[in-house]
A and B are shown apart, each in its own frame.
Chain A
Amino acid sequence: ETGVTQTPRHLVMGMTNKKSLKCEQHLGHNAMYWYKQSAKKPLELMFVYSLEERVENNSVPSRFSPECPNSSHLFLHLHTLQPEDSALYLCASSQARRTEAFFGQGTRLTVV
């Protein structure tokens, strides 16, 4: 069992759909992150949760809505996405005050 697990691994959705990405970490960490990785662009930090509180939101459009019900789980709720939102979405976790992040395998999202 890997330390950070993301589901689903692949997702194809229409622009009018609503879907959710799930992330679960088994490392006892108390900070979790969503990153977006698009082709030929640096990794973009989307959201940071520390001790279940959202501490950072990097100007992400409201069609992306994160949820962190507890320190082990993180969700990214998606609705009315655009084709340019197609990317690899990576979840990561770390201990607060330390920046060594452990990543999941990502969800490859395609918006059609």
Chain B
Amino acid sequence: AQSVTQPDIHITVSEGASLELRCNYSYGATPYLFWYVQSPGQGLQLLLKYFSGDTLVQGIKGFEAEFKRSQSSFNLRKPSVHWSDAAEYFCAVGGGNEKLTFGTGTRLTIIP
């Protein structure tokens, strides 16, 4: 069965500092991988996705993620965070069918 682990429940970062959110997945074949962001009281917005090809993918809002098959990871990064990046971030894995499996999320707090 596919699964996603986001080991950090809550991360606090200073504005302007770099960010890395961790995601590890379990999937029997080549996965499709996603990062979503959710602001309070809102739905999920797709930040970026990996289907195949270049293992470093660029997304919206200055985010990027790197697929590392050997580590079963798909960590999200941003070189310099802004106060507006404060939100909850979800990693998800799928595989060409209709089902996505989500992690439990990482809440990001930005301090001045």
Contacts and interface: CB of A to CB of B under 8 A. Distances in A.
A98 B95 CA distance: 8
Interface stretch (A12-20, A75-83, A101-109): A101-109
A56 B99 contact: yes
B98 A33 contact: yes
Interface of B: 32, 34, 36, 41-46, 49, 90, 94-100, 102-105
A59 interface: no
Interface residues of A, number: 29
Contact of B43 (A50, A56, A90): A90
A104 B43 CA distance: 5
Interface of A: 4, 6, 31, 33, 40-43, 45, 48, 50, 55-56, 88, 90, 92, 94, 96-106, 108
A88 B36 CA distance: 16
Which of A4, A94, A97, A101 has most B Cβ within 10 Å?
Answer: A101
Interface of chain B, main secondary structure: loop
B41 A97 contact: no
Nearest to B104: A42
A4 B102 contact: no
B96 A99 contact: yes
Contacts of B42: 105-106
A91 B44 CA distance: 10
Given A41-B104, A42-B104, A102 B46 contact: yes
A6 B42 CA distance: 11
B34 to A, nearest CB: 7
B43 A4 contact: yes
